[in-house]
Amino acid sequence: MKLMMNTDCIKPPQIIILIFLAVLLGLAHFLKMDLAGLFNESLIKLVMNGVLVLSLIPMLNAGAGMNFGLPVGITGGLIGMCIAVNFRLAGWPGFLMSLLLSVVICGILGWIYGLILNRVKGREEIAGTFIGLSLIPLMNYFWTLAPFQNRQMLYPIGGQGLRPKITLEPYFYNILDNFSLVKLGALEIPLGLLGFYGLICLGLYLFFRTKAGRAAMATGENEAFARLSGIDIAGARLLAIILSTVIAGIGICVYSQSYGFIQLYDAPLAMYFPAISAVLIGGSTGRRAFIFQAVLGAYLLQTIYLLTVPIANEILIPEITEILRTLITYSIILYALLYRERQRGIGH
């Protein structure tokens, strides 16, 4: 069960974030906001972003660093959804087809991505960032030129090129959110959504119990040890990177069905900082991550996001909470990087 446990004690980032959350909750209560409604929404937000956060775990644990190349997996997922929507597959067939296509496309993209990252061992994070950044303009051409036929996806004028935001309203908007939704008074528990999330967590947990998963984990923890034990280092890392990419593809499908739109063009670039902050907020040092940390981090971060906007609107200084939120998110990435460097310094 060790992957599920948070074995590290609570550290400064968690304390700061918890204090901030407590202050926000206090304010929300003071302003007589609908706490039950906020709680309902926080569960949706958790899964909506949580799958993307989970996608970081295989790479982290295999020693390939935090996946700053998250746009690679997201792009795969977007292509999958666009194809499903192009053929006007609505409801469950549409969503399941999106997932299936995403998994296949992300598998291929992840394989290529992994081959590249294996060549830049030790600098995966910066390489990943730039792979993501350079993939975006390439994909912009694709979105503009690819022969999609569904008029609802295309620019209304001219009829060519995909829109930046494709509505999912007639296809599979909220399909997972509303699946087995249980109402308990004011509380609405999205059992289907949470169940789907739980399945992915369980899948990851089981992966790290398999021989291949153990090899990947050992590679991340002590590569020289793994090599001396006859582990195929490149193979173990490649497997983890493909897995990360595939989960990222699934993650964007879940995100989009909640959000209601497929966001194309530069949108994937806005996704990876929150995901990475979340896993760090959950208590990961950026060397390895437990599933528990990814879940906790995603919940804390998204709840803060959720609370800040209405509170800011209420107290009429819209800037301040937004500024604090950005500040805290990015400071925590910085803190984690510094903390990790220091640990590395002590280790040698």
Stretch that binds another protein, among 43-51, 95-103, 213-221, 254-262 (CB under 8 A): 213-221
Q: How far is the CB of 79 from another protein (least distance, A)?
A: 27
User: 3-class SS at 3?
Assistant: coil
Q: Which is nearer to another protein, 83 or 212 (CB)?
A: 212
Does 154 bind another protein (CB under 8 A)? Our answer is no
Q: Which is nearer to another protein, 69 or 114 (CB)?
A: 114
Q: Which is nearer to another protein, 235 or 260 (CB)?
A: 235
Stretch that binds another protein, among 64-72, 211-219, 262-270, 327-335 (CB under 8 A): 211-219
Distance CA 59, CA 121 (A): 12
Q: How far is the CB of 134 from another protein (least distance, A)?
A: 31
Size of the site for another protein (CB under 8 A): 20
Residue 254 neighbours by CB distance under 10 Å: 25
Does 228 bind another protein (CB under 8 A)? Our answer is yes
Q: How far is the CB of 319 from another protein (least distance, A)?
A: 43
User: 3-class SS at 220?
Assistant: helix
Task: Please give the single-letter amino acid code of residue 306.
Answer: L
Stretch that binds another protein, among 52-60, 209-217, 275-283, 325-333 (CB under 8 A): 209-217
> Virtual CA dihedral for 181, 183, 184, 188, nearest 10 degrees?
60
> Virtual CA dihedral for 24, 29, 31, 32, nearest 10 degrees?
150
Non-local CB neighbours of 339 within 8 Å, separated by 6+ positions:
11, 285, 286
Among 24, 60, 109, 215, binds another protein (CB under 8 A): 215
Closest CA to 193 of 207, 181, 209: 181
| Contacts made by residues 99-104, CB under 8 angstroms, sequence distance 24+ | 99/250, 99/253, 102/76, 102/77, 102/246, 102/249, 102/250, 102/252, 102/253, 103/246, 103/249, 103/250, 104/80
Among 121, 163, 165, 288, binds another protein (CB under 8 A): 288
Tokens describing residue 267:
């949108």
Distance CA 87, CA 325 (A): 40
Stretch that binds another protein, among 45-53, 103-111, 160-168, 219-227 (CB under 8 A): 219-227
Among 183, 230, 319, 345, binds another protein (CB under 8 A): 230
Stretch that binds another protein, among 49-57, 98-106, 141-149, 215-223 (CB under 8 A): 215-223
Does 345 bind another protein (CB under 8 A)? Our answer is no
Stretch that binds another protein, among 89-97, 160-168, 169-177, 225-233 (CB under 8 A): 225-233
Q: How far is the CB of 225 from another protein (least distance, A)?
A: 6
Distance CA 44, CA 302 (A): 10
Applying CB under 8 A, the residues found at the interface with another protein are 2, 206, 209-212, 214-215, 218, 221-222, 224-225, 227-232, 288
